[in-house]
Amino acid sequence: MLVDTLGVSGRVAQTGRGKRSVVSQPDREMSLDIEQALKSAGLQVTAQRLAVYRAVVAAPHAVTDDICQTVKSELGVISRQAVYDALSVMTEHGIIRRIQPAGSSARYEKRVDNHHHLVCRECSALIDVNCAIGEAPCLAIDDDHGYQIDEAEVTFWGVCPSCQKRS
């Protein structure tokens, strides 16, 4: 049973299976922010959604399997489907962002602003890069074929400094 996942009532939070952990002020503020985001989207605030969000924040660009492991270690028991459902509904409501560079698994991140990604061809490391233009869609095409374009996904590919050193 989850008693106080957010730790709002004090400095010690009770998590799944009676585990207790110290909750810092920034963690409490983040929990309150995600609670408000969920409520604003008309979503129920659940321990599972909060744990999934914390896992995404803790490991930007994580794949679903890694998020599942993190959430299971926090809550004790959660189905893979519950994690997928939480990721899906939070993505659908713009609380988190799902990205999937060509040839890789879907990854999730907290950052939902207009930005792009840089991927290493050798080790698959992925980092955020700010948009040079600043506002979507960031690219102009010569013929929009009547579309009202509001977004362009930009992924830069290359070899990271660590892989360059190994070559």
Lowest mean pLDDT: which of 3-17, 88-102, 151-165?
Answer: 3-17
Return all residues near 43 (Cβ < 8 A) that are at least 6 apart.
49, 89, 90, 93
- pLDDT at 81 (0 to 100): 96
- What string of DSSP letters covers 20-51? EEE--HHHHHHHHHHHHHHHHTT----HHHHH
- pLDDT at 1 (0 to 100): 29
CA atoms within 13 A on the CB side of 115: 15
- Side chain identity at 93, as an amino acid letter? H
Does the domain at 12-99 match CATH 1.10.10.10? Answer given as yes
Pinpoint the residues of the chain covered by CATH 1.10.10.10: 12-99
**DSSP at 4:** B
Pinpoint the residues of the chain covered by CATH 3.30.1490.190: 113-166
- pLDDT at 52 (0 to 100): 96
pLDDT tens readout for residues 104-137: 899 999 998 888 899 999 999 999 988 777 666 6
Q: How far apart are CA 91 and CA 95, in angstroms?
A: 6
pLDDT tens readout for residues 10-45: 333 333 334 333 344 455 555 568 899 899 999 999
- pLDDT at 134 (0 to 100): 66
Question: Which residues on neighbouring strands pair with residue 99, listed in sequence order?
Answer: 107
CB 76 within 8 A of CB 95: no
How far from the centroid of its chain's Cα atoms is residue 52's Cα? Answer: 8
Look at the pTM and tell me if it is higher than 0.95: no
- Side chain identity at 53, as an amino acid letter? Y
Q: Return the CATH fold of 113-166.
A: Dna Ligase; domain 1 (3.30.1490)
